[in-house]
Amino acid sequence: MRKTRDTVPELDRLELTIRRLIESHESWQKRAAAAESRVRDLETAMQDVSAGRLDPVALAETVRTLEQRNESLAQRLTLAREATDRMLARLQFTAEER
């Protein structure tokens, strides 16, 4: 096929469309692989619970404990960040005064 001015934009659009389709396909492949991995993890967890290797009540309590610790740590980080900002402001003020 002979390239003319009319076919070049069409080829560019076709190439762009194909590139987008390939990117979309790769994205869906990654999502499918992640979903399959999650399914395997959940199936294993269900088997462990069914066989009595995992206690769902104990797991729930562990989750609650970890969530409380996480909240406490987030509060401590906020306080530390605020203290750091105050110290930085003092240092900047001192540097400006010199």
Task: Calculate the average pLDDT of the chain.
Answer: 92
Res 1 pLDDT > 80: no
- Identify the domain boundary among 54, 72, 89: 54
Other beta carbons less than 10 A from residue 48's beta carbon? 14
Distance, C-alpha 58 to centroid of its chain: 27
The answer, as to whether pTM is greater than 0.85, is no
Distance, C-alpha 93 to centroid of its chain: 39
What does residue 59 show for φ and ψ, rounded to 5 degrees? Answer: -60, -45
Can you give the residue range of the structural domain that contains 11?
A: 1-54
50 with 71, same domain?
no
pLDDT single digits (tens) 46-67 = 999 999 998 999 999 999 999 9
15 with 43, same domain?
yes
Q: How far lies 64's CA from each of 7, 41, 43, 48, 77, in Å? A: 63, 21, 23, 20, 20
Length of the chain: 98
67 with 25, same domain?
no
Q: How many domains does the chain have?
A: 2
73 with 87, same domain?
yes
